[in-house]
Amino acid sequence: MDSIWRQTAKLPAFDSLRSDLNTDVLIIGGGMAGLLCACELARAGVDYVLVEADRVCGGITQNTTAKITSQHGLIYDKLIRKFGAERSRLYLEANQAALKQYRTLCRGLDCEFEEKDAFVYAIDSRKKIDRELKALDRLGYSAELAEQIPLPFPVAGAIKFPRQAQFHPLKFAAAAAKDLRIFEHTKVLELAPGRAVTNGGTISADNIIVTTHFPLLNKHGGYFLKLYQHRSYVLALNNAPDVHGMYLDEDEKGLSFRNYGGLLLLGGGSHRTGKRGGGWRELEQFAQRRWPGAQVVTRWATQDCMTLDGVPYIGPYSGHTSGLYVATGFNKWGMTSSMVAATLLTDLILGRDNPYAAVFSPSRTMLRPQLAVNGLESVLGLLTPTVPRCPHMGCALKYNAAEHSWDCPCHGSRFGEGGNLIDNPAADDKQGL
């Protein structure tokens, strides 16, 4: 079940840490966000070290659909209602700036960067499309209405963002990482102010950035309440059409489309981790109905951290942890959000003003309806009288028959049938599975 990216790229290998060291900035986590933070700090002349518990881009990054876009579903009408027009405009600007930075960085890199138009479509409600277009017009962005799109079903309408992009994330990562100061197979065992104890030595740092997908400290920031995790699935199909762009259903349970080479990447089947969803079966049934001659080349699944309000948490880890920063909750838009995080966190560490800091602040209000949902799931998970239980916070694990794993509906940790840790926030394998 390797992604098409894993099958078509080779990442450089890095040594493990074998001694104590001092640095200005320690980055914990070697996914796209961590790599881009390292790139930005290196460009700014800052002394840094990146540590990764396993292999660089061996987690969520290798399973992305690799769309680089500021079109994150029908989000802007919602953002205006939650935050007002000014902050919504800044969110849009931050992501457009991230797209521009990718264009610059990808020049000369063999990462199959392509400009593509992005579309978000609605199956049954033109009103949602019209509201979003009005919101974008209010923000000064020239989106376009598309009455028809080249997908095998009718739509009520779609919104087009021109000149967005897609790429090969692991080929990009391989090129970006080769000159960075990285230690692989270096797991952080203990984190304290200005210090991280790893399995290979202690690292002292003035500033620490946590880019571990789900943050690793429970006692600060309330991330176990502010985040939940969501799984979605991808089929890479041969003998399927070129859709000439990137497409996403506005419905959370809808489908996603983009091409890579001669393949169509069909995404969907999503559900909260630990709950039931359509999975690959839903995608296979769709493909069989629409393209009977299509063949599945490979399949994979991914997991995303979702925030209370649809905006990532990027900035100081909490109000009580000086010198500690976080980037998490990318809400399925990890490629663009990783670049936003790298720029924003570099500015914060260097003491530079960044116009987007307040938009992404992890200390913004938690008073959102999703907070009650997260709290209820946690209570249900704790009260369910079954075993096995997640070592993270004690919630009951649910068996995922499609992926042969034990998943936590509270916070999204996942374990293999033998107990090996697959996805955090749990820090260690689960014994006794």
Question: Which of 324, 341, 360 finishes a domain?
Answer: 360
Q: Is residue 198 part of a domain?
A: yes
Q: How far apart are CA 232 and CA 125, in angstroms?
A: 23
Q: Are residues 10 and 57 in the same domain?
A: yes
Q: Are residues 318 and 419 in the same domain?
A: no
Q: How far apart are CA 391 and CA 191, in angstroms?
A: 18
Q: How far apart are CA 400 and CA 27, in angstroms?
A: 32
Q: Is residue 156 part of a domain?
A: no
Q: Is residue 152 part of a domain?
A: no
Q: Is residue 203 part of a domain?
A: yes
Q: Is residue 396 part of a domain?
A: yes
Q: Is residue 141 part of a domain?
A: no
pLDDT in tens, the chain (433 residues): 799 999 999 999 999 999 999 999 999 999 999 999 999 999 999 999 999 999 999 999 999 999 999 999 999 999 999 999 999 999 999 999 999 999 999 998 999 999 999 999 999 989 999 999 999 999 999 999 999 999 999 999 999 999 999 999 999 999 999 999 999 999 999 999 999 999 999 999 999 999 999 999 988 999 999 999 999 999 999 999 999 999 999 998 899 999 999 999 999 999 999 998 899 999 999 999 999 999 999 999 999 999 999 999 999 999 999 999 999 999 999 999 999 999 999 999 999 999 999 999 999 999 999 999 999 988 888 888 877 899 998 899 999 988 999 999 999 999 998 889 999 999 888 777 7
Q: Are residues 31 and 49 in the same domain?
A: yes
Q: How far apart are CA 197 and CA 377, in angstroms?
A: 33
Q: Are residues 9 and 56 in the same domain?
A: yes
Indicate the residue type of 209.
I
Please tell me the number of Cα atoms within 13 Å of 8 on its side-chain side: 18
Read off φ and ψ for residue 279, nearest 5 degrees.
Answer: 60, -155
Q: Which of 400, 401, 381 is nearest to 389 (CA)?
A: 381
Q: Which of 130, 334, 391, 357 is nearest to 250 (CA)?
A: 130
Place of tokens 């938690």: 366
The CA R_g of the chain, rounded to the nearest whole Å, is: 21
Q: Is residue 82 part of a domain?
A: no
Q: Which of 70, 64, 71, 73 is nearest to 249 (CA)?
A: 73
Question: What CATH number has the domain bearing residue 373?
Answer: 2.102.10.10
- Read off the pTM: 0.96
Q: Are residues 60 and 11 in the same domain?
A: yes
- CA of 248: how far to CAs of 7, 61, 158, in Å? 25, 19, 9
Q: Are residues 8 and 59 in the same domain?
A: yes
Coil, helix or strand for 101?
A: helix
Number of folded domains that form the chain: 2
Question: What CATH number has the domain bearing residue 26?
Answer: 3.50.50.60
Which residues constitute the domain of residue 397?
369-423
Q: Is residue 265 part of a domain?
A: no
